[in-house]
Amino acid sequence: MQANNAEELEALRIKYLSKKGAINDLVTEFRTVQADKKREVGIKLNELKTRAQEKINNLRAQFERNSDKNNDLDLSRTAYPVQLGSRHPITIVKNEIIDIFSRLGFSIAEGPEVEDDWHVFSALNFAEDHPARDMQDTFFIESHPDILLRTHTSSVQSRVMEVNQPPIRIICPGRVYRNEAISARAHCFFHQVEALYVDKDVSFTDLKQVLLLFAREMFGADTKIRLRPSYFPFTEPSAEMDISCNICGGKGCGFCKHTGWVEILGCGMVDPNVLELNGIDSKVYKGYALGMGVERITNLKYQVKDLRMFSENDMRFLKEFEAAY
Ligand code: DAH
């Protein structure tokens, strides 16, 4: 008797162990066994029944195990493709900015995100009562109001100047925090890249040239720039830079509010006070600085309408940038 699969095994069970099976026939015939042989034959019959049942059960378990293996585990099958991630759009654009400035001789400097008041505000010439220090904008550590989350990467300027003498030519990419209600247009954290150049004979013309080159490298050779006077505590004079809207080409559209221009960064000549506060002789050295938001540049390049998309890690959104790098 042999069974090669579950069906054959069931046929065997029916043949031998069912009510009308061969073993039951023997049990029926047991009545005819002579009285003095009953004990001996009875024991053998029981043994036969138990062993047959055991054998059927074991074989059934074995067939079940084999069929599970056949369904789930095929060691010869090719592995599932490993899903590779892709670069985050903010990283792609940040790297592009870094790349443009490194070709101009800037090197990368970094500083802590948890900062102190001195590096974020005081060393950058913020007056004691400047509104940027306000609780509305800045995340302070409750038990220690001198410690805060940096609100801009300009803090790295001060960290670099306090331990280096010119020439200084650095960019500072990093994350910054502001106490803003989260919406499509604002978030409580975002990314900036700061640039600082301090040397003898640095002029506003140098700044303007770097700005123009950056805009053209980033947004295309036809890009125009314009500077509007502005105010920052750490630069004098200060300016904001607009580029010709790269979505409508300067004709006017919803994105540029029909002006043809979009603001992308703040800049200026480093205020002599800032040089002095950080141990650099302002009679010998001059500098320029600029700072931009990476999300803003990314929006302009890729027209992401909702800032929250950058931090939701939705695969459908992230996959759209696979080709970009
Ligand atoms: N720190 C400024 C901000 O967060 C941006 C900025 C403006 C940086 C002018 C600069 C600068 O270096 O010169 O809004």
**Closest residue to atom 4 of ligand 1, CA basis:** 152
Residues having CB closer than 6 A to ligand 1 are 152, 154, 194, 232, 235, 266-268, 289-291
Asked if residue 105 and residue 62 are part of one domain, the reply reads no
**Closest residue to atom 8 of ligand 1, CA basis:** 291
Query: Separation of 239 CA from ligand 1 center, angstroms?
Result: 10
Asked if residue 251 and residue 144 are part of one domain, the reply reads yes
- Whether residue 183 lies inside any domain: the answer is yes
94 has a pLDDT exceeding 90: yes
Report residue 152's pLDDT band, with 50, 70 and 90 as the boundaries. Answer: very high
The whole-model pTM stands at 0.75
Asked if residue 135 and residue 33 are part of one domain, the reply reads no
pLDDT digits (tens, 9 = 90+) for 162-174: 999 999 999 999 9
- Tell me how many domains the chain contains: 2
- Whether residue 140 lies inside any domain: the answer is yes
Distance CA 44, CA 48 (A): 6
Query: Separation of 139 CA from ligand 1 center, angstroms?
Result: 18
Asked if residue 146 and residue 12 are part of one domain, the reply reads no
- 5 by DSSP, 3-state: which? coil
**Closest residue to atom 13 of ligand 1, CA basis:** 267
Probe residue for ligand 1, chosen from 137, 153, 154 as the CB with the greatest number of ligand atoms within 8 Å: 154
325 has a pLDDT exceeding 80: no
211 has a pLDDT exceeding 70: yes
Residue range of the domain that includes 65: 6-70
The pLDDT value recorded for residue 278 is 98
- Whether residue 84 lies inside any domain: the answer is no
Asked if residue 93 and residue 62 are part of one domain, the reply reads no
- Whether residue 80 lies inside any domain: the answer is no
- Whether residue 150 lies inside any domain: the answer is yes
In the 3-class helix/strand/coil scheme, how is 249-298 assigned residue by residue? CCCCCCCCCCCCEEEEEEEEEECHHHHHHCCCCCCCCEEEEEEEEHHHHH
Tell me the average pLDDT across 206-210: 98
- Whether residue 130 lies inside any domain: the answer is yes
Report residue 69's pLDDT band, with 50, 70 and 90 as the boundaries. Answer: low
Tell me the average pLDDT across 68-76: 71
Asked if residue 185 and residue 153 are part of one domain, the reply reads yes
Ligand 1 atom at minimal distance to the Cα of residue 270:
13
In this structure, the number of other CB atoms found within 10 A of the CB of residue 251 comes to 11
Asked if residue 95 and residue 16 are part of one domain, the reply reads no
- Whether residue 83 lies inside any domain: the answer is no
Ligand 1 atom at minimal distance to the Cα of residue 157:
12
71 has a pLDDT exceeding 70: no
